[in-house]
Chains A and B, each alone.
Chain A
Amino acid sequence: MRCRRCNQPAVFNMRQHKLAFCGAHYPAWFVERTERTIRKYHMFAPGERVLVAVSGGKDSLALWDVLLKLGYDAAGLYIDLGIGRGASNDDGYSAASRGKIERFVAERPGARFIVVDLQDEYGETLPQVARRVQRGRAKPCSVCGLIKRHAMNRVARDGGYSVLATGHNLDDEAAVLFGNLLHWQTGYIARQAPVLEAEEGLARKVKPFCRFYERETAAYALITDIDYIFEECPHAVGATSLQYKDILNRMEQEAPGTKLQFYQGFLRTRQANFFRDEADQPTLIPCPACGQPTSTQGLCAFCRLWTRQAT
């Protein structure tokens, strides 16, 4: 197997693209493809302020790295959920993740980094909130998603960032699509897109890695020596999204390109307005406590987490 660009021995092969690259040319291809995706979906332009949600994992750190290489004005946001926090604040999954980000920043002078510490700001860690509220006992990941979305929107709004970028890759998107199709969640299907335009009080959300396989982002991180957290979040063990990923990967093994066709076919169908009627959203009104848009009267779902009624 030889590098497409220089004919030297390849270190990474992508059967779905019939492409292989050496260690020098793979990162270049990866960065160029990210830029093409940003332009293809009109995600953002040079000069716009981009907030990158970073978890310490390969996808988000790779995304931040690529955006900095491309010269975008990209700051990182880490939400410290206090997962695995013990007697000391320096142990556990969240602390390890934060350590990876601090190292990433230390190696890139000028990279700006914002931290939201859930316990410092709200008095509880994610595991504590999840144990206390009904929706968290059944699904801690549901509470986690709610908290992260709220924090990302707040920091973007308060910091004047017009764009919020996340490291969702094609495997993530395909797994979400697969799950929503299995359950015919047509409203969710209609709103799944590489770009969610800004709404009142909400920044534009973009997924510049939505055309990369998870294997491709992992290879980029490893080849470029990004030190990321290898472990999966302890709360994600057994998650249905991981089961869907596994099913799709088995299909991919038999027919390379299956995941790419599944997702890109969906995007083409979506572009043809196949799901347009389903995309109509309820009118959003500001939450009286935090000001973020909500579809319900009274406090938004995030603010309700911190009231006693949530127990």
Chain B
Amino acid sequence: MRIIYRNQVWELQGQRRVRDAIEEVGLEPYTVLAMRDGKLLAEDAMLDEDDDVRLVAVISGG
């Protein structure tokens, strides 16, 4: 799967829960929300090998 956050992309092998994938790329789960195909994902949602997941910072805007 690909984890995309700002200008960074990580490739992870195998299945994982959202929360585990976020921690594995070195981010704190409380700082981001995860989206797949434009839909929000719960922290316990399972990700597949071929998923593209976009992480959105919780703190943003002016």
Residues of A within 8 A of B (CB): 1, 9-13, 20, 23, 55-60, 93, 97, 171, 214-215, 218-219, 222-223, 225, 228-233, 236, 242, 245, 249, 252-253
A219 in contact with B33 (CB, 8 Å): yes
| Contacts A13-B43, A249-B31 given; does A218 touch B58 at CB 8 Å | yes
A229 in contact with B62 (CB, 8 Å): yes
Let me know if B42 is at the binding interface, CB within 8 A: yes
Expressed in whole angstroms, the minimum distance between the Cβ of B18 and any Cβ of chain A is 11
| Contacts A10-B42, A215-B33 given; does A228 touch B61 at CB 8 Å | yes
Let me know if B37 is at the binding interface, CB within 8 A: no
Expressed in whole angstroms, the minimum distance between the Cβ of A281 and any Cβ of chain B is 28
Find chain A residues with CB under 8 A from B45 CB: 9, 11
User: Which residues of B from 17 to 61 have beta carbons under 8 Å from A?
Assistant: 28, 30-31, 33, 35, 38-45, 56-61
Expressed in whole angstroms, the minimum distance between the Cβ of A202 and any Cβ of chain B is 22
Partner of A215, one of B42, B58, B62: B58
Most buried by A among B42, B43, B58, B61: B61
Bound-complex Cα distance A207 to B31 (A): 23
Bound-complex Cα distance A59 to B56 (A): 14
Of chain B, the residue at the smallest CB distance from A26 is: B40
Find chain B residues with CB under 8 A from A10 CB: 42
| Contacts A215-B33, A252-B30 given; does A23 touch B39 at CB 8 Å | yes
Q: How many of chain B's residues have a CB under 8 angstroms from any CB in A? A: 20
Expressed in whole angstroms, the minimum distance between the Cβ of A251 and any Cβ of chain B is 11
Partner of A233, one of B40, B42, B57, B62: B62
Partner of A11, one of B30, B31, B40, B56: B40
Bound-complex Cα distance A58 to B33 (A): 13
Of chain B, the residue at the smallest CB distance from A83 is: B62
Bound-complex Cα distance A59 to B42 (A): 21
| Contacts A11-B41, A219-B40, A222-B40 given; does A57 touch B60 at CB 8 Å | yes
Residue pairs across A and B with Cβ atoms less than 8 A apart, 25 shown, are A1-B43, A9-B42, A10-B42, A11-B39, A11-B41, A11-B42, A12-B40, A12-B42, A55-B61, A57-B60, A59-B61, A93-B62, A214-B58, A215-B58, A222-B33, A222-B35, A229-B60, A229-B61, A229-B62, A231-B60, A233-B62, A242-B59, A245-B59, A249-B30, A252-B30
Bound-complex Cα distance A236 to B61 (A): 10
Partner of B59, one of A97, A222, A232: A232
